[in-house]
Chain A
Amino acid sequence: MEEDTLHINSPIEPDIIDKLTAGTRVLISGIIYTARDAAHKRIIDSLDRAEGLPFDLAGQTIYYAGPSPARPGQVIGSVGPTTSSRMDVFTPRLLAAGLRAMIGKGNRSAAVRAAIVQCHGVYLVAVGGAAALIARSIKQVDVVAYDDLGPEAIRRLTVENFPAIVANDAFGGDLFEQGKAEYRRGR
């Protein structure tokens, strides 16, 4: 990581969100929660039934990831991001319920981008396939819910210097669009 990298804590405070503009590289320390396809479906089902959630979403960060199994002596296996767009259908609702930040890979739908601006949130990307590298930043892992889902269970990760890049900021900035416009040729 180079000098222009911001060190931030998670949960991310609203005044820090203001500093996270598309393209900013960050190292995250603190707490993040893993949740992917099946866990999202269960969270939404719980919201539909007005039941309590496995963790309070307010101000939190969700990491779209399902780790490989931990070897003896390790807290986790490899744990890179999965494709975020599969969660797009659920995300505006979670942001409205208080979720502040998401980490994944790939671009988001227009509805999610609008919800990020409206709810003053942020979407970050981690490098897909850099799963072994990312595992080094995970210091502690606790399964919070849905243990029966195996790799898809919700895990509370304690992280130190987890590397990510701001993709969609609270002001409508979109790294995918900006990056592509800068390097596109012809047509």
Chain B
Amino acid sequence: MREIKAGKITETIAHLCQQANYELGDDVLAALERAEQTEKSPLGRAVLRELLENAQIAREGVFPLCQDCGTAVVFLDVGQDVHIVGGELQQAVNEGVRQAYAQSYLRKSMVKQPFTERVNTGDNTPAVVHTEIVPGDRLRIAVMAKGGGAENMSRLAMLKPAQGREGIIETVVNAVDEAGGMPCPPLIIGLGIGGTAEMAMLQAKRSLLRPVGQPSPDPELAGLERDILERVNDLGIGPMGLGGRTTALAVHALAMPAHIASMPLAINLQCHSARHREAVL
């Protein structure tokens, strides 16, 4: 058993939250720069230039990338030979979120009871934590600051197996079309295909952790990602929905086995401010 101190987890989470909210990843920046070169709409290009300038300003560490500093979505891949000591795991994660959102002047966006009172918890906790037990003696932590506008455009479709590949493409294209400018395009489109309802949704979100535009290692999925990207960019929605050829920067899909009766399709949209950071302890 390898011991990892809860305090170390707190410290790491706090650092990742801070970094994610101030420094847009190089992969996202490169994708936005490419889009700025190829976008046909003058207004679309102007929007993309503003986003690149915004990322530069945020990198100075005074103003976060977006005022919506997100729900802190935390993926923990816990090696089965890891023993966490000196505190409870969930509390250690929340303490890291609490510290980062207070000390780094990030907006606290979580409300305690969602359907009537909606009182802000004041410290952006609780984090949404997804824990997986994996082989080894390491702890892999990925933190995503997930904005509400794009998250609100998520979809779960329990498709019929007969709808097949084309059914998936059509459902995604329609979802992006209906979302229009609301989820802050250009988007990264996360897809979870197969599994059960909740597993599809989780994999759709997890797919967003992949570097932007890195295709699936599975050639068939990579082909599906390419075809969906082309169809989505034919919609004409463009940056912030003001018209253009760049509606999405990338499509990331994960697939898994499903029941003979089912073909779940989960769609999780990521805005252009794709903020996530990882560390391994």
Complex contact A69–B107 (CB within 8 A): yes
Identify which of B128-136, B212-220, B232-240, B255-263 touches chain A.
B232-240
A149 to chain B, nearest CB (A): 8
Cα–Cα distance between A176 and B235 once the two chains are bound (Å): 12
The A-contacting residues of B in range 206-259, CB under 8 angstroms, are 234-238, 240-245
Instruction: State the total of A-B contacts with C-beta under 8 angstroms.
Output: 167
Q: B235 — which chain A residues lie within 8 A by C-beta?
A: 180, 184
Known contacts A131-B64, A165-B43; A70 and B51 CB within 8 A of each other: no
Cα–Cα distance between A186 and B182 once the two chains are bound (Å): 23
Count residues of B near A (Cβ-Cβ below 8 Å): 49
Complex contact A105–B182 (CB within 8 A): yes
In the complex, given contacts A133-B57, A179-B237, A183-B238, what are 15 additional A-B residue pairs having Cβ atoms less than 8 angstroms apart?
A66-B68, A66-B107, A68-B107, A82-B68, A105-B240, A127-B50, A130-B50, A149-B120, A150-B120, A151-B120, A178-B243, A179-B41, A180-B180, A181-B243, A182-B41
- Pairs across A and B, CB under 8 Å, 20 listed: A65-B67, A66-B67, A66-B68, A69-B106, A77-B107, A83-B152, A105-B241, A106-B182, A125-B240, A132-B57, A165-B242, A167-B242, A176-B181, A179-B244, A180-B236, A180-B241, A181-B236, A182-B236, A185-B236, A187-B234
Interface of A toward B, CB cutoff 8 Å = 2, 23, 25, 38, 65-71, 74, 77-80, 82-83, 85, 105-107, 125, 127-133, 135-136, 149-151, 163, 165, 167, 175-176, 178-187
